[in-house]
Amino acid sequence: MIDLRVNEARLWSRIQEMAKHGATPAGGCNRQALTDEDKAGRELFIRWCKAADLDVRIDGIGNIFARRAGRSATGAILTGSHLDTQPSGGKYDGILGVLAGLEVCESLNDQGIETEFPVELVVWTNEEGCRFHTAMMGSAVWAGAMPLEAAYALCDSSGASVREELIRIDQLGIDSVLTSDIAAAFELHIEQGPVLEAEQLEVGVVIGVQHMSRHRIVITGKEAHAGPTPMTERLDPMRALADFLPRLYAMAEAHGPDARITFGFIEAAPGSNNTVPGMLTLTVDIRHPERDHYEAMVGEAYQIIGEACDTQGLPVLIEEFWKADGVSFDQECIAAVTGAVDLLEYTAKPMVSGAGHDACHVASVCPTSMIFIPCEGGLSHNEAESITQTQASIGANVLLHAMLKRATLVPSSKD
């Protein structure tokens, strides 16, 4: 079975076929969750699964499961990702993981290979969280991290709810796949960052996802005229900002090259050229792959901001408004991926994902890990997102052999 490889041309043609649903003029995809385009993509996927003799079921939040039977009825090895895209997304984010999983099943079919445990392929609903503002929604519901009713109640900007749209596109199912029925899971995804390409590596062995949180800082000053008010008489939030901003960048730097700090939003009120701001609001996004560093960064950020505002005599409120705990993937799953990389003689390195993925929720209920392949320029969530046919097949081959290892190969006559 060492020689077993996926059908590279079939995988690539299916990726391009899927990309026709929601295709944008600039060569990307707009196939947001539960739209007509998503419906068409889902129906195409289901047709392919049925043609491959997979048992297709849809659960209450529209997650599509497609099972290739094993000798055992339980202990399935799960793989998959998402088919929905950003409004100006690419052809590969999510789609690669789904269609590579289908290709794993097809390749096993082609060779007549029977596995001890079933292979369960999944398409998670609304991973992107752009139309309905909760990313990784379908996997969160499945893993018990989000109540089904809360997901149903989410509405898009026109007021249409997830439940209404699931019904409208005929994707609200009644089947359920129990988390206890899944023994292990793998997700193949494009890196969405520049590291693998820069280091000319073929595969990222993903060992975890970094810790991340976002915080809102509101500093209260006192509105005053920009001319008559002496500098010494002002309560100016910008003074505190000027103090803490360089200190926060230095703090992040001190936590090493893996630390991330981003000030993505800043607003001074009332926003007039000649008025000292009465209020300054900004957000800071803090990330680090290691929990100790991450927690220290958050603590130090709060302290630095507090000190700077104290020095200026300015009241400040800091609150965390979003958080995603980091994930350490399962050692045995990581070893299965590393084993596949070694067997296939690809170049690879262990890495931590900077972005969240469905695999984060899956990891809370069963042993899980991820596989990355490079994408051109590290570009993703962009119509220009690009990978090569060879890169796609490398990822799928690693997925195939990692899954085979966990699905425990049953020797067949062709072996």
Positions that interact with Zn ion (CB under 5 A): 93-94
Least distance in angstroms from the C-beta of 326 to Zn ion? 18
- Cβ distance to Zn ion smaller for residue 93 or 236: 93
- The answer to whether the beta carbons of residues 387 and 96 sit under 8 Å apart is yes
Residue nearest to Zn ion (CB): 94
Cα–Cα dist 129/151, whole Å: 11
Relative orientation angle of helices 8-18 and 389-407, to the nearest 10 degrees: 110
Least distance in angstroms from the C-beta of 189 to Zn ion? 6
Least distance in angstroms from the C-beta of 98 to Zn ion? 10
- Cβ distance to Zn ion smaller for residue 68 or 189: 189
- What region, left, alpha or beta, does residue 41 occupy, with left being phi > 0 and alpha being psi -120 to 50 degrees? alpha
- Cβ distance to Zn ion smaller for residue 72 or 134: 134
- Cβ distance to Zn ion smaller for residue 237 or 374: 374
Rounded to 5 degrees, what angle do the CA atoms 15, 16, 18 make? 65
Least distance in angstroms from the C-beta of 96 to Zn ion? 9
- Cβ distance to Zn ion smaller for residue 125 or 312: 125
Strands 182-190 and 348-353: unpaired
Least distance in angstroms from the C-beta of 82 to Zn ion? 6
Least distance in angstroms from the C-beta of 94 to Zn ion? 4
- Cβ distance to Zn ion smaller for residue 119 or 375: 375
Dihedrals φ, ψ of 145, to 5°? -85, -10
Residue burial 14-40, b: 16+ Cβ < 10 Å; e: rest:
bbeebbebbbbeeebbbbbbbbebbbb
- Cβ distance to Zn ion smaller for residue 94 or 326: 94
Cα–Cα dist 367/182, whole Å: 9
Least distance in angstroms from the C-beta of 188 to Zn ion? 11
Least distance in angstroms from the C-beta of 100 to Zn ion? 13
Least distance in angstroms from the C-beta of 294 to Zn ion? 22
- Cβ distance to Zn ion smaller for residue 93 or 290: 93
- Cβ distance to Zn ion smaller for residue 336 or 359: 359
Least distance in angstroms from the C-beta of 380 to Zn ion? 8
Least distance in angstroms from the C-beta of 113 to Zn ion? 29
- Cβ distance to Zn ion smaller for residue 115 or 126: 126
- Cβ distance to Zn ion smaller for residue 117 or 142: 142
